[in-house]
Amino acid sequence: MAETLFSKIIDREIPADIIFEDDQCLAFRDINPQAPTHFLVIPKKPIPKLSDAGAEDASLLGHLLLIASQVAKQEGLEDFRLNVNNGAGASQTVFHLHVHVLGGRSFNWPPG
């Protein structure tokens, strides 16, 4: 996989407001927040998009969701939205799998 903005954050080549890290993933605040609380949870393993994940990634994918919930609670969120964009047509701009966690405001349905 080509080096991405997120791989540079993992390698500390680019600064980020990191709010959680373990051996499998990293969570940091979005630089263009779409809600009062908006952070990303990314795997350290380079997976370009969700549809590129395989059966061997099942545990990692579950871990990302558990960490998203844990950090949301740490950030004081009771209600929050998770979003994963898969591909350019779905507005994915950084091709390193990431989970958006948004909270602190009401959301509409369907998302647009």
Who contacts 56 (Cβ-Cβ below 8 Å, separation ≥6)? none
Burial 98-108 (b: 16+ CB within 10 A, else e): bbbbbbeeeee
The domain ranges of the chain are: 5-103
pLDDT tens track for 59-83: 999 999 999 999 999 999 999 999 9
* CATH architecture type of domain 5-103: 2-Layer Sandwich (3.30)
pLDDT tens track for 13-27: 999 999 999 999 999
Q: Could you tell me if 103 and 77 are in contact, meaning their C-beta atoms sit under 8 angstroms apart?
A: yes
The answer on pLDDT for 12 being more than 70 is yes
The catalytic position among 38, 63, 96, 98 is: 98
Residue 112: which pLDDT band, with cuts at 50, 70 and 90? low
Apex CA 47: angle with CA 95 and CA 67, to 5°? 100
Catalytic residue check, 98: yes
